[in-house]
């Protein structure tokens, strides 16, 4: 019979994450220790910290890779159930939102690169396709961004009328669209082309400028405007 690993409470006081944080600050904790504090308990073979070391090792010790794991992926680890998996996803979402909060308020979007920089923190770690519309003023200053579709750009998922409605409600005079390709393939699909053409036509009728539609991956993007297709 294998010997059970000690719990966090049985660890020396100066090695316990909570005590270390109280004495030296949370910045002194490793990522595994921070996540161990979050989930609270491990399993009958390892502490919460040990368990999170194993999870992180499977992600090359990358928080960005951790953020891509689904609830089912996390639940493959002994000692992690749906509640702990959701807690881990929640803290990863907070990390993403902090990155989003660092964008300058009322940023001006003057290029496809500026559009990529705006949406990259929101979409870079997503394992699911999301489509956003960015609403802008006459000076191309950001008014708001709105999630308009999830899971793929089919006619039933992204409704051009919804995009126009959002623009009119927020009194936007210009819009830009951005969605991600989790596969890493930047090539636009037929559905991407159809959405772009339909939306450009609707914007022309409503006298709204459509600045761009970009497709982004972790490190690159495709711009319909830059490619002369808008």
Mean pLDDT of 31-41: 91
What is the value of pTM for the model shown?
A: 0.64
Residue 159 tokens read as 């409704």
pLDDT at position 2 is 47
Q: How far is CA 104 from CA 65, 197, 212, in A?
A: 26, 31, 20
Q: At 205, is the pLDDT very low, low, confident or very high (cuts 50, 70, 90)? A: very high
Give the total residue count for the chain.
230
Domain ranges of the chain: 8-100, 103-223
The CATH number given to 103-223 is 3.40.140.10
Virtual torsion, Cα 212, 97, 27, 75, nearest 10 deg: -110
Residue 12 tokens read as 């020396």
pLDDT at position 58 is 93
Domain spanning 8-100, CATH architecture: Orthogonal Bundle (1.10)
pLDDT at position 1 is 43
% of the chain residues with pLDDT over 90 = 56
Mean pLDDT of 54-75: 89
Residue 78 has pLDDT above 80, yes or no: yes
Average pLDDT, the chain: 86
Residues 138-156: b if buried by 16+ CB within 10 A, e if exposed: eebebbebbebbeeebeee
Nearest alpha carbon to residue 81 among 44, 42, 54: 42
Q: At 6, is the pLDDT very low, low, confident or very high (cuts 50, 70, 90)? A: low
pLDDT at position 10 is 62
Q: At 176, is the pLDDT very low, low, confident or very high (cuts 50, 70, 90)? A: very high
Residue 156 has pLDDT above 50, yes or no: no
CB 38 within 8 Å of CB 87:
yes
pLDDT at position 13 is 54
């Amino acid at each position: 019979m294998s010997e059970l690993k000690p719990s966090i409470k049985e660890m020396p006081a100066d090695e316990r994450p909570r005590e270390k944080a109280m004495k030296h600050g949370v910045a002194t904790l490793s990522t595994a220790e921070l996540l161990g504090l979050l989930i609270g308990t491990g399993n009958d073979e390892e502490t919460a910290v040990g368990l999170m070391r194993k999870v992180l090792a499977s992600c090359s010790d990358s928080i960005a890779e951790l953020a891509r794991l689904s609830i089912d992926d996390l639940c493959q680890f002994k000692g992690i159930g749906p509640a702990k998996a959701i807690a881990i996803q929640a803290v990863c979402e907070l990390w993403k939102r902090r990155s989003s909060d660092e964008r300058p308020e009322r940023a001006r979007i003057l290029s496809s690169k500026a559009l990529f920089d705006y949406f990259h923190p929101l979409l870079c770690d997503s394992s699911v396709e999301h489509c956003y519309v960015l609403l802008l003023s006459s000076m191309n200053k950001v008014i708001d961004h709105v999630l308009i579709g999830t899971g793929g750009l089919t006619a039933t998922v992204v409704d051009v009328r919804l995009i126009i409605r959002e623009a009119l409600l927020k009194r936007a005079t210009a819009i830009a669209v951005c969605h991600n390709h989790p596969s890493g393939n930047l090539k636009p699909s037929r559905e991407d082309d159809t959405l772009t053409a339909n939306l450009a036509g609707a914007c022309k009728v409503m006298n709204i400028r459509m600045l761009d539609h970009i497709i982004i991956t972790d490190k690159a993007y495709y711009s319909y405007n830059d490619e002369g297709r808008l």
